[in-house]
């Protein structure tokens, strides 16, 4: 029981901190939050890959700075999406870890987080809505999979099931539709449903990608920062992959 309470409390604190930062009237808090996410994620990646801590953090922060300060948001999202798609190559059964993997994973992570900035710039409530949909997908995929999941999808994450993925998708569509109308974001019904599908599909790919990376380096969790949940990378793996695609979708809609 104490473990369940700790897991719930730490998860609730994490979500409240995330939402409070996104909806804060002080933009510098969001910038600082992005920086902290990047540093902690770089630390966990360096630890998994047995690298000295300072170089990965420096590389990640330089990449983040380039993505948020120097490059247009659309270019950051395009680069982030290309890196995410090319990273899917590691799903091949014959994949062997290349020597540059540690740098590649750092740049992929930092560019994905940089795209979070672009989504935020599209509107704080829109950014909030995308986060809620993303968390809804993660939560309901787990819940539905735990209750009725029988059809295994991949050996990378044996506990994930087709039923769970479908459940996550359905609830993501519902959440996106409801939030669009409740918060008056301005999307059409079709656009809101499409956004929900984009978030669900890319979030699941991001989760699998980090699961594969942890399996390659023989780690169960990326860290222990969040009791009962693991590390930062365990919590934002879906966000890293999804954000470039979310921003590109919003860009096409001129939002």
Q: What is the pLDDT of residues 169-202, one digit of tens each?
A: 999 999 999 999 999 999 999 999 999 999 999 9
Q: What is the largest CA-CA distance in the chain?
A: 49
Is 70 exceeded by the pLDDT of residue 228? Answer: no
The pLDDT confidence band at residue 3, using thresholds 50, 70 and 90, is low
Mean pLDDT over residues 237-254, rounded?
Answer: 95
Rounded average pLDDT over 74-85: 96
Kindly tell me if the per-residue pLDDT of 77 is higher than 70.
yes
Instruction: Phi first, then psi: give them for residue 228, nearest 5 degrees.
Output: 85, -10
Q: How confident is the model at residue 224 (pLDDT cuts 50, 70, 90)?
A: confident
- Calculate the average pLDDT of the chain: 91
- Residue positions counted in the chain: 255
What integer pLDDT is reported at residue 230 of this predicted model? Answer: 76
Domains of the chain by residue range: 2-252
Residues contacting 69, CB < 8 A, separation 6+: none
Q: How much of the chain, in percent, has pLDDT values that exceed 90?
A: 73
pLDDT of residue 254: 78
Instruction: Please tell me the distance from the alpha carbon of residue 67 to that of residue 4, in angstroms, as a whole number.
Output: 38
Q: Which of 84, 68, 87 is nearest to 76 (CA)?
A: 68
Rounded distance between C-alpha atoms, residue 117 and residue 243, angstroms? 9
| Count of C-beta atoms within a 10 Å radius of residue 167 | 23
31-46 tens-digit pLDDT: 999 999 999 999 999 9
Residue 223: band (very low, low, confident or very high) from pLDDT cuts 50, 70, 90: confident
Mean pLDDT of 128-145: 95
User: What predicted TM-score, i.e. pTM, was given to this entire model?
Assistant: 0.94
Q: What per-residue confidence (pLDDT) applies to 111?
A: 96
Sorted by sequence, the CB contacts under 8 Å of residue 214 that are 6+ apart come out as: 48, 220, 221, 222
> Rounded to the nearest 5°, which phi and psi values hold at 161?
-130, 160
Q: What is the mean pLDDT of residues 131-148?
A: 94
């Amino acid at each position: 029981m104490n473990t369940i309470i700790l897991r719930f409390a730490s998860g609730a604190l994490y979500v409240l901190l995330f939402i409070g930062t996104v909806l804060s009237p002080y933009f510098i808090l969001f910038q600082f939050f992005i920086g902290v996410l990047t540093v902690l994620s770089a630390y966990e990646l360096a630890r998994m890959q047995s690298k000295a801590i300072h170089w990965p953090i420096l590389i990640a922060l330089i990449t983040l700075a380039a993505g948020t300060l120097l490059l247009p948001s659309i270019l950051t999202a395009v680069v982030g999406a290309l890196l995410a798609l090319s990273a899917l190559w590691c799903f091949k059964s014959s994949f062997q870890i290349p020597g540059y993997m540690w740098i590649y994973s750092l740049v992929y992570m930092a560019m994905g987080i940089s795209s979070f900035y672009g989504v935020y710039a599209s509107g704080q409530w829109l950014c909030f809505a995308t986060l809620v949909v993303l968390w809804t997908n993660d939560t309901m995929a787990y819940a539905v999979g735990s209750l009725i999941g029988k059809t295994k999808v991949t050996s990378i994450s044996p506990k994930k099931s087709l039923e769970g993925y479908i459940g996550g998708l359905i609830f993501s569509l519902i959440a996106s539709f409801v939030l669009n109308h409740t918060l008056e974001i301005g999307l059409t019904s079709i656009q809101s449903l499409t956004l929900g599908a984009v978030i669900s599909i890319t979030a699941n790919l991001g989760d699998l990608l980090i699961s594969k990376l942890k399996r390659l380096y023989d780690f169960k969790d990326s860290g222990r920062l969040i009791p009962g949940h693991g590390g930062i990378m365990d919590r934002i793996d879906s966000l890293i992959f999804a954000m470039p695609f979310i921003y590109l979708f919003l860009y096409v809609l001129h939002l």
